[in-house]
Structure 1
Amino acid sequence: MQTQEKIRIRRADVADAPFVALRVISALGVENPDDKIVECMTAISAMDEVLYSWRNAWIAECGGVAAGMLLAYDGANYALWRQRTFDVLKDMMGYDLTGMQDETCAGEFYLDSLSVLPAFRRKGVARQLLEKVLGMASAQGHSLITLAVAPDNTPAFVLYRSLGFEKKGMLHIFDYDYEKMEKLL
């Protein structure tokens, strides 16, 4: 296992938008995205005040190489940012997601997307990203942290449970069912 000293967690900057976009796409389970999806998500990730903005992301680096990303935000911003994000998705891709269930709401700090490159998995990258962002959320006064995870993602369930998250129901988002998990700080 890689030592923690070799993993550096930092806030993303606008130059990370392409990496953030690819990691969000990966977190959604899309293995080989077409160029149009990558272009659209990169455009969104370069924006401010949208769900998948670089401003909401933390990057894990191993040996100076971007290894993973965690995207998280205050649920109080969700409704407005969702509208802006979904408007871009509709304009650029033709996706109409207006009927999709809300992922989060005011009173929650939402861990939207966590993705680690395959070469860096099982080396503590995801755990360190989560610990960093959970600490930041606590310092900002958030007391309820939530996330959605695919029911068949056993490694993620094990990790989230080890950090104190518990299952709290189901969400139907992006045409798939996800477990909603929460943690009280």
Structure 2
Amino acid sequence: MIRPASPSDATAVVPLIIQAMGKLAQKLTNVEDENVINQILKHFFMQRGNQYSYENTLVFEEEGKVLGSLNAYDGGKLHELRKPFLHYVAEHHHASGLNQDTETENGEFYLDSISVAPSAQGKGIGKQLIKAGIDWAKQLGHHTVGLLVEQNNPNALRLYEKMNFVIQNEKQFMGGLYHQMVFKINC
């Protein structure tokens, strides 16, 4: 079952967000320690009004256990949603000079992180979360859904292409090279 996340999902969802981010988690927080990264993201997940908030998250739950998550939001609101995060890491982790590239843009509903627990991968949960993200975008009146996928991640690329996402262009983000992909919602 896919449902909106709540603050009480933090313990289950934050490791999934970190898994989806990979090395970007260290770059975004300017922190090496995984426990500290977990604490930072947990703090923001449980708050309102930021890009990692439970408000911007759907979870896939089965038998009371969260097995996957999708974090998504209006791309035009990224700077507003990111501001509390940047302020926090600057104040608490001396990361004031972070170069936070923009991964999304006005006019798209951005799928920020999609993640499935390793024990549940290969069961179609990611696909269900992506479909739910597209439906969420449609409900909010968006006509375009966007995401980034690392160029060295052919499995994710195939999944998105099967779901009718197309490569719009290539994008440098936080030192990596990504495919910027979009899905057009038929109105």
TM-score with structure 1 setting the length: 0.88
Structure 1, 29-38 or 114-123: larger mean CA deviation: 29-38
Q: CA deviation at 1:96?
A: 4.2
RMSD: 1.9
Partner secondary structure for residue 160 of structure 2: helix
Residues 123, 96 of structure 1: alpha-carbon distance in 2 compared, 3 angstrom cutoff: farther
1:11 aligns with 2:4: yes
Matched residue, 1:120 = 120
Aligned residues: 178
Structure 1, 166-175 or 101-110: larger mean CA deviation: 166-175
Residue deviations 1:90-146, cap 9 Å, x none? 223333464332111221100000110111001010011111121121122110110
Partner secondary structure for residue 112 of structure 2: strand
Amino acid at match of 2:18: I
TM-score with structure 2 setting the length: 0.87
Mapped partners of 1:89, 1:15: distance in 2: 23
1:76–1:108 CA contact under 8 A, matched in 2? yes
Counterpart mapping for 1:35-50 below 5 A: 35-50=35-50
Mapped partners of 1:112, 1:97: distance in 2: 23
Matched residue, 1:129 = 129
Counterpart mapping for 1:1-185 below 5 A: 8-30=1-23, 34-96=34-96, 98-185=98-185
* Misfit runs of 4+, over 4 Å: 30-33
Mapped partners of 1:117, 1:18: distance in 2: 13
Mapped partners of 2:75, 2:90: distance in 1: 22
Partner secondary structure for residue 106 of structure 1: coil
Structure 2 gap segments, 5+ residues each: 26-31
Mapped partners of 1:166, 1:59: distance in 2: 25
Partner secondary structure for residue 47 of structure 1: coil
The percent identity for this pair of structures is 28
Residue deviations 1:21-43, cap 9 Å, x none? 22221111149962111111111
